[in-house]
Amino acid sequence: MPFDQAVKEIRQRLENSVKAQLVADVNVRSFLSGGLDSSLITAIAQKYHNRKLKTFSIGFDDPDFDESKYALQVSKYLKTDHHHHQFKIKDAINILPEVIKNLDEPLADASILPTYLLSKFTKKHVTVALSGDGGDEIFAGYPTYLAHQISKFANLFPQSMLNMAKNIAIFSSDLIKILPISKHAQNLSIKFKIEKAFSGLDRNQIKQYINYIGPMLYKDKQELILEHTETAIKHLQKLAQYKPENTSMPQYLDFMTYLSEDCLVKVDRASSYNSLEVRPPILNANLAKMALNLPSNYHLKNYQLKHLLKTVAQPFLPKEIIHRPKKGFGIPTHKWLREDLKNQMLDLLNEKRIKQQGLFNHHYINKLIKEHLNETQDHRMVLWNLFIFQLWYKEWL
């Protein structure tokens, strides 16, 4: 259907979904991070709520990991009854043992910690809350989609030229970082993004997807895991056979794997442990089915993420909220592994323990740890995965 008609239809289906989710024996409230998805859900919920909607957010004392000012801005615009709690960043570390004890499977998404704190705070006031989960997958909101799009051209060049381009880009990012007018949050530095984007390039679309979504490159997993198999590749190849015609491969695989096996698991566990029910209106079946069958350039147009959803949001939110850069629910795992959790990480990943398990290459792990602690490389993602796995292993096996 034409783009304008799609906007009207998606808007109507989203409103219908939110209205349906507001029906309950208890009052339904809303998470509000200040990002597009939760802000739009809150705006629609407020429209159909007969009084001020209660909204909830949390923040941290580290400004690089705090979005509370955006949530407050949206709350003031929508005139909600906003409830906010400011945590210390160490509060997230302190609840780690509690979260691990409740997890019956290893889940290394670090954002489960702030989600857990948000759920605990929200449950003090309500028992049901709306969330914006699913918006990034259904409406193409992740920066990796831009990387996949650019890679179509980058993969046409020889590796030597790509290496040269990567080195120039990293050198330029180092120059930018030393300028007094620029301050880059350490949770996702420019250098980290550049290395991830270039190193993840692969002419095999499935392997490239794994490189971008996973904690490490596919080829490096073969070095880390002693009996590495092709299971992930085969699983994704099988899924790829059923991809809707218009949906891009990365968007479809995110919906089938990252959303269902990470994001929803994270929110379900974090909320359930605190006896809170979370409802995601964007994942209404009729809405999702239609959105995923629309042309992919409706979602990602001229390198603008969420083009369709941003158009849908125009009657509800001001431009500065709709077009705000995506940040995410991050915590400083890179810093924790070098400081607060360093000794625990070294103990859990010591040579004797790794050899006894017989799962990983301890020489390779030692290399990762040394480079991360020396700050010559940023291995936060794979080390955090290994750290969480070992905490889970120690608790349950």
Q: Which residues contact 315 (CB under 8 A, 6 or more apart)?
A: 11
Would you give the DSSP letter of residue 215?
S
CB 155 within 8 A of CB 203: yes
348-362, pLDDT tens digit by residue?
A: 999 999 999 999 999
13-71, pLDDT tens digit by residue?
A: 999 999 999 998 888 999 999 999 999 999 999 999 888 999 999 999 888 788 889 99
pLDDT reported for residue 245: 87
Domains identified in the chain and CATH numbers: 3-141+257-322 (3.40.50.620), 144-240 (no CATH), 333-396 (no CATH)
Helix axes 36-47, 68-78, angle to 10 degrees: 20
Cα of first residue to Cα of last residue in the chain, in angstroms, is 53
Low-confidence winner among 8-22, 92-106, 259-273, 306-320 (lowest mean pLDDT): 92-106
Q: Check the CA dihedral 95-215-396-344 and report its sign.
A: negative
CB 18 within 8 A of CB 130: yes
Average pLDDT for 177-183: 41
**Per-residue confidence band for 279, with pLDDT thresholds at 50, 70 and 90:** very high
CB 138 within 8 A of CB 288: yes
CB 274 within 8 A of CB 118: no
Question: Rounded to an integer, what distance in angstroms lies between the CA atom of residue 148 and that of residue 192?
Answer: 17
| pLDDT over 70 (residue 252) | yes
Q: Exposure pattern of 219-245 as b/e (b: 16+ CB <10 Å)?
A: ebbeebeeeeeeebeeebeebeeebee
The whole-model pTM stands at 0.90
For residues 110, 112, 113 and 116, what is the CA-based torsion angle, rounded to 10 degrees?
A: 180
85-134, pLDDT tens digit by residue?
A: 999 999 999 999 999 998 889 999 999 999 999 999 999 999 999 999 99
Q: What is the mean pLDDT of the chain?
A: 89
